[in-house]
Amino acid sequence: MRPDLDVVFVGTSAGKGSAEAGHYYSNGGNRFYRWLRETGFTPNLLKPTDDHLLPVFGIGLTDLSKTYAGMDGSEEQSSGFDCQGLIDCLKPLRPRVVAFTGKLGVEASFGPFIGHQGDVYFGPQDSAAGESLVFVLPSTSSASPTMRPPKGVNGVERLPVDYWHELAAFLDR
Rounded mean pLDDT for each run of 10 residues along the chain, 173 residues in total: 91 67 80 95 96 96 68 51 81 92 75 65 82 88 60 67 93 90
Burial class (CB in 10 A: 0-12, 13-18, 19+), 24: buried
Query: What's 115's DSSP letter?
Result: T
CA 101 to chain centre: 3
Give the Cβ contact number of residue 114 at 10 Å: 16
Please give the helix or strand (H or E) that residue 51 lies within, else none: none
Q: Tell me: domain 7-170, CATH 3.40.470.10, correct? A: yes
> Which residues, other chains included, contact 54 with Cβ-Cβ below 8 Å and sequence gap of 6+?
42, 46, 60, 61
Per-residue confidence (pLDDT) for residue 56, from 0 to 100: 95
Where would I find the beta strands (DSSP E) of the chain?
Answer: 7-14, 59-69, 97-101, 123-129, 132-137
User: In Å, what is the CA distance from 135 to each residue of 76, 77, 126?
Assistant: 25, 21, 9
Sheet holding 59-69, edge to edge: 59-69, 7-14, 97-101, 132-137, 123-129
Residue 64 has what pLDDT? 78
pTM as predicted:
0.83
pLDDT of residue 131: 84
